[in-house]
């Protein structure tokens, strides 16, 4: 197998890579974003897709951010939706489908996630923005997701996953954190760093 073909398999787990090399199946880079139907029942080539790995650690990073900032998934999704808008109105807020608890913008104001920037006399005529706390939630989320920042492996003050007596899920999370922290982020992810 040629060097560039081995490079295509760099994200492939070790055991899968060994089997692919043993069976002499050639990896090829898929440049088109269209998926095609196979004409053969036995793969002669393995198609490798690159650049679609940004969300690969979402399951771990999302849970870490939720625990670190003590927020639920609905709050995180709402902040991710509002963050790129910078400033938004009551009407903009209601464009997003959300759980019933978030139907009132006051809920996020009370959580110190949203603040009024321009007071128009009523909620419908005011302009809002995310607070520094909420912006930090979103920025940290993206930094951990891209690999720009590493999830701490230390005690609970820095890592809410840490436990003196972890259960099975806790051990799995900490093993995954340790494994991820040792990996170098892909070039696609590095291009997203600020």
**pTM for this predicted structure:** 0.69
pLDDT at 149: 83
Domain segments of the chain as ranges: 3-48
Residue 90 in this model has a pLDDT that exceeds 70: yes
Which tens digits make up the pLDDT trace of 7-51?
Answer: 666 767 676 777 777 777 777 766 555 555 555 555 556 666 665
Report DSSP letters for 114-169, one per residue: EEEEE--SSGGG-EEEE-HHHHHHHHHHHHHHHTSSPPP-S-TTT-TT--SS--HH
Per-residue pLDDT, averaged over 71-80, amounts to 90
Of the CA atoms within 13 Å of residue 88, those in its CB half-sphere come to 21
Distance, CA of 64 to CA of 124 (rounded, Å): 34
- Angle in degrees, CA 179, 145, 72, rounded to 5: 110
Of the CA atoms within 13 Å of residue 19, those in its CB half-sphere come to 6
Listed range (29-38, 67-76, 88-97) with the worst mean pLDDT: 29-38
Which tens digits make up the pLDDT trace of 122-163?
Answer: 888 889 999 999 999 999 998 888 888 888 876 655 666 666
């Amino acid at each position: 197998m040629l060097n560039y073909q081995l490079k295509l398999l760099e994200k492939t787990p070790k055991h899968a890579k060994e089997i692919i090399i043993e069976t002499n199946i050639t990896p090829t880079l898929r440049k088109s974003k269209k998926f095609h139907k196979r004409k053969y029942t036995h793969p002669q080539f393995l198609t490798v897709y690159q650049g679609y790995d940004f969300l690969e650690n979402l399951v771990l990073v999302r849970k870490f951010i939720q625990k670190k900032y003590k927020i639920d998934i609905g709050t995180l999704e709402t902040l991710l939706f509002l963050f790129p808008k910078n400033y938004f109105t009551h009407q903009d807020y209601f464009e997003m489908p959300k759980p019933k608890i978030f139907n009132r913008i006051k809920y996020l104001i009370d959580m110190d996630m949203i603040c009024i920037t321009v007071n128009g006399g009523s909620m419908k005529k005011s302009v809002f923005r995310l607070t520094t706390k909420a912006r930090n939630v979103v920025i940290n989320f993206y930094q951990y997701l891209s690999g720009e920042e590493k999830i701490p492996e230390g005690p609970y003050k820095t890592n809410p996953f840490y436990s003196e007596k972890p259960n099975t899920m806790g051990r799995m999370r900490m093993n995954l954190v340790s494994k991820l922290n040792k990996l170098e982020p892909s070039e696609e992810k590095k291009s997203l760093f600020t």
